Amino acid sequence: MNNGIDIQNLFPSHVAFIMDGNRRWAKKNNFPIIDGHKKGAEVIKKIVNKSIKLKIKYLTFFGFSSENWNRSKKEIVQLQTLLKYYLDSETPNFIENRINFSFIGNVEKFDEPIRKKLYNLKEVTNVFDNLFFTLALGYGSRGEILGSINKLLKANKTEITERNISENLMTSHLPDPDLVIRTSGEKRLSNFLLWQIAYSELYFTKTQWPDFDVKRYMTALKNFVNRKRRYGGD
């Protein structure tokens, strides 16, 4: 309680995460790179479980950018293996907790078994509404915006509005994020949800993603509560 107000009611409805620092965490601790990604996947589960308890409705995680395909072939293979494992191991948790799973981005470069698992998990959780979990894979915001505009042009739209663009984005089924959290000390958006976060609050922490625990998550949420969102006004 804060001055008689339950601060949980002031928490964001939609939190988006730029999960940075897995590789640096692994190198710092003399672990293989894949171990950093594995540890990072464990953090996602903890954040999801805590968010359910806090009644935060929407979570979006930047899992793999369109630029990440430029990484080494070995790391890409390992990441795809980890993604497959994550989808398999977390499916019971998504069903048990009635979590609605979806993904955004171009997944056509991912191996076929992974694509099938993505579409299958999306289908089997489609009716759930306890929490909406979105994973950005092969995602780039500039490409997403261009895709939306091209859809409108193909539909012979002569005058394009902001609403038109929003309705044709991959995230058209989601509210815009209230809070964006980026870990590992970098202060940039890295081509993530550029259209959607026009009025989002940004929270940067030096903590690397594998070390971003529930306590640090709560710190970010409380920081959000103490901000005054003006949306361009006074």
**Cα–Cα distance for residue pair 19/74, rounded to 1 Å:** 20
**Cα–Cα distance for residue pair 48/133, rounded to 1 Å:** 8
Q: At what angle do helices 112-124 and 73-96 cross, to 10 degrees?
A: 20
176 is catalytic: no
Of the candidates 193, 84, 97, 216, the residue with the CA atom closest to the CA atom of residue 144: 193
20 is catalytic: yes
Q: Which of 6, 29, 49, 68 is catalytic?
A: 68
Q: Which of 2, 6, 9, 20 is catalytic?
A: 20
Q: How far is CA 108 from the centre of its chain?
A: 19
**Cα–Cα distance for residue pair 201/172, rounded to 1 Å:** 20
DSSP assignment of 17-42, as one string? EE---HHHHHHHTT--HHHHHHHHHH
128's tokens:
């759930």
Rg of the Cα atoms in the chain: 18
Neighbours of 60 (CB within 10 A): 26
Q: Sheet holding 58-65: strands in order across?
A: 99-104, 131-139, 58-65, 14-18, 179-182, 201-204
What is the set of active-site residues? Answer: 20, 68
